[in-house]
Amino acid sequence: MNNHSLQIRTVQVIRYVTPLREGGSMPALAEADDEFLYVLKFRGAGQGVRALIAELIGGEIARKLGLRVPELVFAELDEAFGRTEGDEEIQDLLKFSVGLNLALHYLSGAITYDPVVTTIDARTASQIVWLDCLLTNMDRTARNTNMLMWHQELWLIDHGASLYFHHSWQNWKEQAIKPFSLIKDHVLLPQATELVVVDEIYKAILTPEFIQTVVALIPEEWLIGDSNFESTEAHRQAYAYFLTTRISNSSIFVNEAENARENLI
């Protein structure tokens, strides 16, 4: 029985506060009609809706596994929203992002995780490394950890660089059973000494039924128009196939991570 309720709220963006010029996705701090601030990820940014799909899938899987992730919401952007924006680059971004976007609850006062300042325990490090191997998340390095410390707790953010196979869909079924060689650069790999234990626990949690509930969250409009698939349902099920296949063959990426960690020692 799945006791994880996958319900994503939808908010209306009412105010563009300030750009967060980090990476190529040009996220922004924005206020919604529920009076909360969010880090808004735009469908009109460089990687388009695929980055939003990766963010949605990665964030909700991480949450299911007991890791801390800011609340994800769908964020509606009205056609008139960017008309008063003075910056032409931002105005274009807003124009191309009309419709449904994705946002993360803003953790006010959070600071970037620094491995020199804060040591993460072996179990937590192993959990995060396992997750990033599953998602093929290349963006959790010492240079850019994509983790925050908030109220003395570790929070994961920005999974938009995950599932990078879907930017071309080339040999995507084969990608599901490949090791993840970039794990060697993971900031938490040196502490990840409990990968085998975590593997058994996480494989039992991430059932095929749960994966179906995750991919069911992907908005239809984010799946329309991809010429790699004959229908949006086929497109949706491709994500389910990749994830369930990768989970059932997790020993491949666990072994790769174990070997990479040993080479660091």
Q: Residues 84-95: pLDDT tens digits?
A: 666 788 888 888
Domain map (residue ranges) of the chain: 10-105, 113-154+162-264
pLDDT for residue 1: 33
User: Would you call 5 helix, strand, or coil by DSSP?
Assistant: coil
Which residues touch 178 (CB under 8 Å, ≥6 apart)? 252
184 with 260: CB under 8 angstroms? yes
Percent of the chain's residues with pLDDT above 70:
94
List Cα–Cα distances, 156 to 55, 69, 171, in angstroms. 11, 5, 29
- Assign 50 a pLDDT band (cuts: 50, 70, 90): very high
- Assign 5 a pLDDT band (cuts: 50, 70, 90): low
Q: What is the pLDDT averaged over residues 152-181? A: 96
- Amino acid found at 231: S
Q: What is the pLDDT averaged over residues 175-188? A: 97
pLDDT for residue 84: 62
- Amino acid found at 174: E
Torsion of CA 174, 179, 185, 189, to 10 degrees: 140
Round the average pLDDT of the chain to a whole number and report it: 93
Residue with tokens 């128009």: 225
Which residues touch 127 (CB under 8 Å, ≥6 apart)? 65, 66, 67, 198, 202
Q: What is the chain's Cα-based Rg?
A: 18
Which residues touch 158 (CB under 8 Å, ≥6 apart)? 55, 139, 146
Residue 188 has pLDDT above 60, yes or no: yes
137 with 157: CB under 8 angstroms? no
32 with 13: CB under 8 angstroms? yes
Q: What is the pLDDT averaged over residues 112-116? A: 95
- Assign 76 a pLDDT band (cuts: 50, 70, 90): very high
Its pTM surpasses 0.85: yes
Nearest to 215 by CA among 191, 195, 192, 242: 242
Percent of the chain's residues with pLDDT above 90:
84
Residue 3 has pLDDT above 80, yes or no: no
